[in-house]
A and B are shown apart, each in its own frame.
Chain A
Amino acid sequence: MSIRITNVTKCYGRLRAVDDVTLTVQPGELFAFLGPNGAGKTTTIKMLTGLLVPDAGAIEVCGYPVTLDGQAAKAQMAYVPDQPFLYEKLSATEFLEFVGHMYGLPRSTIRERARDYMARLEITDYAGQLAESYSHGMKQRVVLAAALLHDPQVIVVDEPMVGLDPRTVRTVKQLFRERANAGKTVFMSTHTLDVAESIADRMAIINQGRIVACGTLNELRAQARREHRLEDVFMELTEPESSGEPPGRLTGRAMGSDI
């Protein structure tokens, strides 16, 4: 099991941002995590990466508990936040070098992989410039390259396609697909339903802190009794009136998933 989230709850004061969420993601899966704004996606991701501590429940990555033994779990994982962080006074090359060393990679491997990822993500031309001169999309590409550099078992990505041009979107989709095919796990939160529809193996929809559906696209269609696009399914499952206690909330058994 690559990711195991068990009965996780997180409250901000009186607000239950994440409410008793349970889900698992297998190695080799490209998992899309969907939901409206404020549904609890980023909070879940931050707990998954150890940046927030759950009030209840447990999270494991590659068998290592995230909350108790963060280092071991983090060594298996990479995180790309929705707001890409780069040191403004470092170039892309220097940043990748720093990240590679942080994960204990040999210098030759760092150079080799950095060169290849920079070429694939088309960073090479500005790799020597300081990050302060980069656009949002350029920063996003550098952060993606840094996340992939140590060949993590699990990559957690929050809104990966924001600010990327269509060409890079295609490259990123290919990269994610390649990783999943190689047995790695990609956990991707996104609002871009087309991307989720086109590359995700399974997906979960979270609404008001609770998982309202989880499964393959066909399983979600069946749940929503819709035959068409993911967008229609998403709208159906996140209707405001259906979100209090979702009438169509899927059970693990019904969907064949681990919910």
Chain B
Amino acid sequence: MTQLTSTAAPAPSAAILLGSPASFGLLLGLRFRLLRNRLRQIVDQSPLRILLFILFLAFIWGALYAVFDFVFTFLRRYEQQAIVAIPLVFHVFVMAMTFLLAFSAGVLVYAALFARQEPSFLLATPASPRHIVTIMYLEALFFSSWSLVMLGMPLMLAIGHVQGLPWHFYLIFIAALLGFIPIPGSLGLVAAAAVATWLPRVAKRTVTIAGTIAFLAIVLWWGRLWGLSSADSNRWLQNFLAEMQYVKAALLPSTWVTNAIRYAIEDRPTDALFYLAVIASTAAFLSWSAVTFVGGRLLRAYASAQTTGSRRRAAEGRASRVLTHLLFFYLPPRTRWLVLKDVRGFLRDPAQWSQLVILLGLLGLYLVYLPRSRPEGFSRQWQALICFLNDGAVTLILSTFTSRFVFPLISMEGRQMWLVGLWPLPRSSVLRAKFYYALTITTLAALGVTALSIRALDLPFALAAVQIGAVVAACFGLCGLAVGLGARLPNFRETSAGRVASGLGGTINLIASVALVAISVGLFGVICYRLVRQEDLTMLDPASMGCFVAIFAMGLCTAWFAIRAGSRSFNHAQF
């Protein structure tokens, strides 16, 4: 055995005293090794997961490409509008991405630097704080921007296809998007460090308040745009476009990205390269500044974030208890207590309720203002078409919610089985409690938006009833799938609900949910089509009635089978 303990005290090496300049390479190497091990494990244990992931990705990309291709082909038919609308669409798209990426990167950096256990380990080593920040920043950029790449690539291919563009357009497009990502990312990094340093006790509340203010700002802005409404829709469009001119301001990064892409489309590569250079230099400068600034203050920010205290008030606990007993009056008392635990988790996790509030809220907002865009009222065709689109939007939002937040519930519960498993209740009652909890929340939220849709479109009773029925059936089916598959394909080892949702079981559940939504919305589309064809929205013909029964039966049967399969598996699960 070697001498493990030397008696002499070695002086710290120069590298360590200088903050271990090699630590960046080591940390980067560590990330690659973690990724390699994860991939190797997936390939060894579940190659199906990779196949499903690739297929799912290809499906989403294909669908997005088809939509973009259709839109741009459609716009090209109306040359005049296309010239005005396409650059504006780009400006708005990139500007929206700026805010979303900054927010997303900020949340990811905050979690990576101040909420996980890893920085506690790394900060106790001689690793340079600046290198730690750089690695976490790069990681956050990667994870926050995949959606942009996901949306951007089909968009690029669709433009290239519709306009017949040369090869350098694709290179400039990719470079502009990738170069742009660090600009909002660096803002997110500084914001995360600022929250950790100065607002550690209220990090979640800060995010919630900031989100609410941003939401209200969008509401006011949206209201202002819709307030421009007049009896003439074309005039409204002109006013709308005039209002949106500020997004084209020359100093905005979104403008540089749009200009680079626009010049690439117009086959002016030199002008496009100028904007690429502006984007790249700004991104490099902002990233360097943000990393240096946060790296220099990391220890203080981290120490400050560790003082985070939870300020739960007794009144909040009472309110959630009363709310649960009111909403779930139909459940036995002991099951209600099981549900109360999840309700409190839901109310205290802004990620959960904010997703529902923001997505359904935006949909609700659009529905509130919808009648103002057409004061003369909607024709039957428009009523049916918008009703169909609304049904699709609501059910898709619900499917993402149940996949992300309902599916992991059982996996998370598995960690509490030392408690819940010993209760004098059958295990299946745990599943039923989760199902009723998810069903009640999603149904209430979805029915609220559906009621707005019915009011905005002034739908006749028959179509309104079909839409309500379709939404309720989708809630049954989606919640049943998420709870049932959550119990059938649990991951009791995982501590993060997000990672459970993105795992194999979560991916299967998402695919199954999207398939259910696609079939349900497809059948609903058939009903809408037939109602328009018969020029009467007040009466369902036998075929439409059959479709409606099929939608409802499919939702209920999916829930029943999924819960049954889940219960069988959960009853025999060992923890």
A interface list, Cβ under 8 A from B: 12-13, 27, 46, 49-53, 62, 70-72, 74-79, 81, 83, 85, 87, 89-91, 94, 98-99, 101-104, 112-113, 116-117, 119-120, 130, 132, 148, 151, 153, 178-179, 182-184
Contacts and interface: CB of A to CB of B under 8 A. Distances in A.
Contacts of B123: 50-51
Given A13-B309, A62-B9, A76-B12, A116 B2 contact: yes
Contacts of A51: 120, 123-124, 302-303, 306
A74 B132 CA distance: 15
A144 to B, nearest CB: 12
B15 interface: yes
Interface string B102-145: 00000000000000011011011111100000000000000000
B120 A71 contact: no
A52 B4 contact: no
B26 interface: yes
B26 A102 contact: yes
A94 to B, nearest CB: 6
B37 A89 contact: yes
Contacts of B41: 89, 130
A49 B124 contact: yes
Contact of B6 (A52, A74, A151): A151
B352 interface: no
Nearest to A132: B493
Contact of B306 (A46, A76, A98, A104): A46
B326 interface: no
B220 interface: no
A71 B20 contact: yes
Q: Which 9 residue pairs across A and B have the least CB separation, nearest first?
A: A75-B12, A75-B16, A79-B124, A182-B5, A53-B303, A89-B37, A85-B121, A52-B303, A85-B117
Contacts of B15: 104
Contact of B299 (A27, A53, A179): A53
Residue with the highest number of chain B CB atoms closer than 10 Å, among A72, A112, A113: A72
Contacts of A89: 34, 37-38, 41
B33 A90 contact: yes
A117 B2 CA distance: 10
A46 B424 CA distance: 43
A120 B127 CA distance: 28
Contacts of A52: 303, 306
Interface residues of B, number: 44
Nearest to A95: B30
B250 interface: no
Interface of B: 1-2, 4-7, 9-10, 12-13, 15-20, 22-23, 26, 30, 33-34, 37-38, 41, 117-118, 120-121, 123-128, 201, 299-300, 302-303, 306-307, 309, 493
A101 B7 contact: no
Contacts, number: 116
Contacts of B120: 51, 81, 85
Nearest to B35: A89
Contacts of B300: 53
B132 to A, nearest CB: 11
Nearest to A87: B34
Interface of B is mostly: loop
A78 B307 CA distance: 23
Given A78-B124, A87-B34, 18 more contacts: A13-B201, A50-B124, A51-B303, A52-B303, A53-B300, A53-B303, A70-B299, A71-B20, A81-B120, A90-B30, A90-B34, A91-B37, A98-B30, A102-B127, A104-B15, A116-B4, A117-B4, A130-B37
Contacts of A104: 13, 15-16, 20, 22, 126
B124 A74 contact: yes
A148 B299 contact: no
A102 B125 contact: yes
A180 B126 CA distance: 23
Contacts of B125: 74, 99, 102-103
Contact of A182 (B6, B30, B37, B303): B6
B12 to A, nearest CB: 4
A151 B23 CA distance: 19
A110 B201 CA distance: 41
Contacts of A62: 9
B309 to A, nearest CB: 7
A103 B124 contact: no
A79 B19 CA distance: 18
A119 B9 CA distance: 25
A147 B300 CA distance: 24
Contact of A178 (B2, B5, B201): B5
B16 A103 contact: yes
B32 to A, nearest CB: 11
Contacts of B16: 71-72, 75, 103-104
Contacts of B1: 116, 119-120
Nearest to A184: B5
Contacts of B201: 13
Contact of B126 (A13, A102, A179): A102
A78 B124 CA distance: 7
A178 B1 CA distance: 14
Contacts of A53: 299-300, 303
A52 B301 CA distance: 9
22 contacts: A13-B307, A50-B299, A53-B299, A70-B299, A71-B18, A72-B17, A75-B17, A76-B12, A77-B124, A78-B124, A85-B121, A90-B30, A98-B26, A104-B15, A104-B20, A113-B4, A116-B1, A116-B2, A130-B37, A130-B41, A132-B493, A182-B7
A202 to B, nearest CB: 20
Contacts of B127: 102
Nearest to B123: A51
A27 to B, nearest CB: 8
Contacts of A116: 1-2, 4
Contacts of A120: 1
Contacts of B23: 102
Nearest to B14: A104
